[in-house]
Amino acid sequence: MQEKSSGFQWPAQWTPDILATLMFVVQKGRILLIRKKRGIGAGKVNGPGGKFEPGETALQCVLREVREELHIDIEDAREMGVLNFSFACGTIPEIRCHVFMATSFTGTPTETPEAEPFWCPVDGIPYDLMWQDDRFWLPAMLDGKRFEAFFTFEGDRMLEFSLKAED
């Protein structure tokens, strides 16, 4: 396990307000991303995903969110890591996000009121258009490493990070 941090102590006592998911489909050297059209992080590039509904598991949530946002059905979702986000401003809830990868799906990625999908080369991911934490963990995940991380934000500016990833 590799550990990196900004000197920040992983908080022992922290409970999220909401549970959420993200999905990254990788196929033939390309990754399926979205421009998020509404909700937390509207305007940013991210994977599809969203909040748990009552009684859902992380897997059920991510499959439903991807179906709702892009009209595709993922066939081989696997959970790769967990992201914990604490927002200093108090207007965005504390979020725990389960991150999945997949390589196979049915249907055609389709724009919806929530998301505009696009394919991007895995070596050309537009980190400047994404949440600032993504460049810390997404490359490790794309190398097949499982991870857990904690990030603090003020608005959409990242303040501190602590990342544990497989060697």
Ligand X SMILES: Nc1[nH]c(=O)nc2c1ncn2[C@H]1C[C@H](O)[C@@H](COP(=O)(O)OP(=O)(O)OP(=O)(O)O)O1
Q: Which residues bind ligand X (CB under 6 A)?
A: 20-22, 39-41, 46, 49-51, 65, 85, 95, 97, 131, 133-134
Tell me the closest approach of the beta carbon of residue 75 to ligand X, in angstroms: 20
Tell me the closest approach of the beta carbon of residue 162 to ligand X, in angstroms: 14
User: Count of alpha carbons within 13 Å of 65, Cβ hemisphere only?
Assistant: 28
Tell me the closest approach of the beta carbon of residue 43 to ligand X, in angstroms: 12
* DSSP tag of 153: E
User: Cβ closer to ligand X: 11 or 39?
Assistant: 39
- Count other C-beta atoms under 10 Å from residue 86's C-beta: 17
Tell me the closest approach of the beta carbon of residue 99 to ligand X, in angstroms: 8
Instruction: Report the C-alpha gap between 84 and 2 in whole angstroms.
Output: 17
User: Cβ closer to ligand X: 90 or 167?
Assistant: 90
User: Cβ closer to ligand X: 47 or 105?
Assistant: 47
How many residues are recorded in the chain?
167
Instruction: Report the C-alpha gap between 159 and 97 in whole angstroms.
Output: 18
3-state secondary structure of 121: strand
Instruction: Report the C-alpha gap between 77 and 11 in whole angstroms.
Output: 29
User: Cβ closer to ligand X: 53 or 75?
Assistant: 53
